[in-house]
Structure 1
Amino acid sequence: MYVRSVTARVLMLATAWSALALVVIAIVISALYAKSAERAFTDLLRAQLYNVVNSITIGEDNSLAGNPQLGDLRFSQPETGWYWIVEPLGTFAATPLSSSSLGRSNIAVPSILNVPFNNRYERFYPATDAYGNHVLVAETEVVLDSDGRAARFRVSGNLSVVDEDIQAFTRSLYIALVLFGVASLIVNGFAILFGLRPLDDARRALEKVRRGEAERLEGEFPREVHSLTGEMNALIDSNRRIVERARMQVGNLAHSLKTPIAVLLNEARLLDKSQAEVVRSQAEAMQSQVQSYLNRARIAAQRESMLARTEAEPILERLVRVMRRLNPDKTFDLSAAPPGLALAMEQQDVEETVGNLLENAARHSNTGVWLTATPAVVPEGADAGRRNWVEIIVEDDGPGLDPHEIKEALKRGRRLDESKPGTGLGLSIVGEITREYQGQLELSRGARGGLKAKLILPGLTWDVA
């Protein structure tokens, strides 16, 4: 699964690496300590073995004599697994000696072929005593006198001591590493969040630019982020220059076309009535189409500007006031909520889209037109994380349109009612501007029986009173 958050990715990587490192460290330290404990246990048995060797001699009656003092009570307690044994070898027929902990039992001696002596004439091998204890036996053979009489010396220790020691150490080690790991993850988390905070600051600064609250990324940023914010500011400045240049070119083009079209309309009045009507209608259509394409060019130039902002309620109130003056016999109802609702559009584009819809609704309504503006859900295919969205609904109580008539009404230059004035370009222009802003236009039959036009347009943040 691809994680989009940089913070989450760094935290996950740091957590995974820390966990893996701590597991490896725990295994390595446990293994090293186990070897060290086993080596120490072997050295202890060797020291005790030679202590026994130094304590045993041959008495005057040719018997083994001596009482080793190993300083460990376990050699005197039964069934502990801690024993010492001295056994005569060859023709030396003395009675064996052993610790009181061994009692009357004995420990089997493996073949020299299976467990050979080392270069110090010692050998160590595991065994199991008569009581089920797993022991490690240290053994050597020593010549006791000049007559060549020798004995086998053995000392055993209970391996459970080593196992318990290793388990106790491992348990303490794991607890310490877990606590250290948790503390390290907390410290790493705070360090990562603190280190990535400048990116959040840059994001918030960019959001201010997008909402129209600032024109540049402002703030103190570290060296690693400063170059990024500098490039973003340069991009915003470049984008602003492109928008201004596009607006100037659009204005120049509109001005250059205004006079020729006006001349055509003026000359049309000098022609015969039938010819004048054709020239006039075509000039008006050309004027509307030129204006439409100029609008599209201007919108395409500034659509990604992030600097366009239009307060919804004031501009809608002004449009409604104009429509009330033009249509005194009809009522116009406006509802815009919450306060501060703003559109990420140029003011003239809002006037063009909503004005066309109001004009169309007023033309076909019987008694009134209803206009509402509210926050909307993200339209399908739009970028949900980029901005908020605003829903504007214009509804009338006229005859409305059937589904097949709605498709025809959206076509450029198509007029369903030839008895009403107009060029047939209004809904087409609304649709083009809406699409340029990645919004949606939907026509349907409203609850009052007339046409219901719903616009989904890009919005900015707003404050709820």
Structure 2
Amino acid sequence: MKPLPARLLPGSLKGRLVISALLLNLVLLPLIGVTLSDAFRAQLAHAVKDELSAALYGVLAEVEQGELVLPDQLQDKQFNIDQSGLYALVSSQGKLVWHSPSFIGMPPPGKLPSPPLGEGRFGEMLLLGKPHFNYSFSASFASASNNGRDIPFTVHIIKDQTGFEQTQGAFSRQLWQYLGLLMLFLLLVQGGWLWWTLKPLARFRAELKAVEQGKRQHLGSDYPKELQQVATQLNALISNEQRQRQRYRNALSDLAHSLKTPLAVLQSLKSLPSDAQEPISQINASIGHQLKRAQSAGSGAWHQGVNSKTVADKLLRTLGKIYADKALEFEAELATNALFYGDEADLAELLGNLLDNACKAANSQVVLKTWVSEKGLNICIEDDGQGITEQQKNQLFERGVRADNYQQGHGIGLAIVKDLLQSYQGQWQIDQSPLGGARFTLFLPRS
């Protein structure tokens, strides 16, 4: 038997367990119901057979003195009531030779069973278009009027199935009602059992999500043994990742200091030609940019959530002082729950570069907005400057384009912004602001 295709199975373990429980109830309980109903019907039919067998021997007992002579009235009163549903018939050599008073007015029964001599046969037959039980027994007697020769005969006891079907139907209805209640009870019990069984998994998932969002440092330790090893290994992985990231950044910081010191010495040399100062400054700026790019922690899954409003407020206050001579109007719509899952220095670098560009390009107004969507943090920065042309917007995404190719106020620090966005799997869009200048819209996923 081939396994079900993966696309037909639910994606979650909980879904698979729920479907398994439902299938178990929907298959097993009806199977039990059908089995019990069939067993009850068979037992009820066996009881009818015993009843008809007893009635048959009662009729045989009425045979007088070895002659096939039966009384007008039988001991069982149902045989004496017209069309009572219980009938006694005697046939000999394929012909009906006697019937009980209850059979008066009934049509001929058609061909009756004729079992071997001394044997009985239980079965069903149609009478008046209705199903009836029939028990037939064949015997013989030596007839004095027939020179003592044996004359075979068959006694037939026939009973209407109406009462049988009513009893069977009542049992089946009650059985299925009980099975329905049992199914409901089992579903409730299984639901509670699934909830209790999967509770550690739900807590594991919630804690793992909290770690991803930076709300926890590690997973808990009180898990069942099947999950405890996974939690322990994940905690070790988290701790190792944090240590490696810190060692990496420390090494880069040391490298930055070791490179900047010789450059500072070169820049301070009076004997250095003036035309060499600019290349050294460019080298210094390039080293600073590449080190900042390398030091960015990126979108690792174990960052604490940084409140973007706090970082943005500090930057706006600082830029307000730096560009006090322009008397810029800063408009900020900052969501209090807008968290950035990364290093605070990366967020400050990203916002700082874009806001600084906006301040340089703006005539009088800079707008900063942050909001949270279902999948992450959204940032929008606008100014009322001259804006960016379509050609310049396309060039912003090209590698190796110098920042000074753009008009003043844009391009400076955009390489850093782009690298930071790429390291966090973020997205950005540049278009025209309703204020007249450029509008930068950024999206940073939650994880």
CA distance in 1, matches of 2:89, 2:221: 84
Alignment of 1:327-406 (within 5 A): 327-330=323-326, 331-376=328-373, 378=375, 389-406=376-393
Larger deviation: 62-71 or 406-415? 62-71
Distance of aligned partners of 1:144 and 1:434 in 2 relative to their CA distance in 1, 3 Å threshold: same
Alignment of 1:421-432 (within 5 A): 425-432=412-419
Secondary structure at 1:35 match in 2: helix
Distance of aligned partners of 1:117 and 1:250 in 2 relative to their CA distance in 1, 3 Å threshold: same
Note the residue ranges of structure 2 that are not aligned, 5 or more in a row.
1-7
Alignment of 1:30-429 (within 5 A): 30-58=37-65, 64-66=69-71, 69=74, 71=76, 73-87=77-91, 96-105=97-106, 107-108=108-109, 110=111, 117-118=115-116, 120-129=118-127, 131-145=128-142, 147-148=148-149, 150=151, 151-218=153-220, 220-267=222-269, 270-273=271-274, 275-276=275-276, 280-299=277-296, 301=297, 303-330=299-326, 331-376=328-373, 378=375, 389-411=376-398, 412-415=400-403, 425-429=412-416
How far has the Cα of 1:186 moved from its partner?
A: 1.4
Counting matched residue pairs gives: 433
Aligned to 2:422: 435
CA distance in 2, matches of 1:266, 1:160: 117
Aligned to 1:463: none
Aligned to 2:19: 12
Indicate if the aligned counterparts of 1:402 and 1:445 stay in contact, CA closer than 8 A: no
TM-superposition CA deviations, 1:431-462 (whole Å, max 9, x none): 110111111122221111111122222459xx
How far has the Cα of 1:105 moved from its partner?
A: 4.1
Residue 322 of structure 2 aligns with an amino acid whose one-letter code is L
Residue 363 of structure 2 aligns with an amino acid whose one-letter code is N
Aligned to 2:438: 451
Distance of aligned partners of 1:233 and 1:418 in 2 relative to their CA distance in 1, 3 Å threshold: closer
Indicate if the aligned counterparts of 2:337 and 2:372 stay in contact, CA closer than 8 A: no
Secondary structure at 1:432 match in 2: helix
How far has the Cα of 1:332 moved from its partner?
A: 4.4
Aligned to 2:3: none
TM-superposition CA deviations, 1:149-195 (whole Å, max 9, x none): 54432211113333333333222222221211121111101110111
Indicate if the aligned counterparts of 1:311 and 1:340 stay in contact, CA closer than 8 A: yes
Secondary structure at 1:55 match in 2: coil
Distance of aligned partners of 1:284 and 1:305 in 2 relative to their CA distance in 1, 3 Å threshold: farther
Note the residue ranges of structure 1 that are not aligned, 5 or more in a row.
379-388, 461-465
Indicate if the aligned counterparts of 1:408 and 1:414 stay in contact, CA closer than 8 A: no
TM-superposition CA deviations, 1:383-424 (whole Å, max 9, x none): xxxxxx2222222211111111212244444245678599x5
Secondary structure at 2:220 match in 1: coil
Residue 303 of structure 1 aligns with an amino acid whose one-letter code is S
TM-superposition CA deviations, 1:67-92 (whole Å, max 9, x none): 67454x432332233111235669xx
TM-score by length of 2: 0.86
Distance of aligned partners of 1:306 and 1:377 in 2 relative to their CA distance in 1, 3 Å threshold: same
How far has the Cα of 1:374 moved from its partner?
A: 2.1
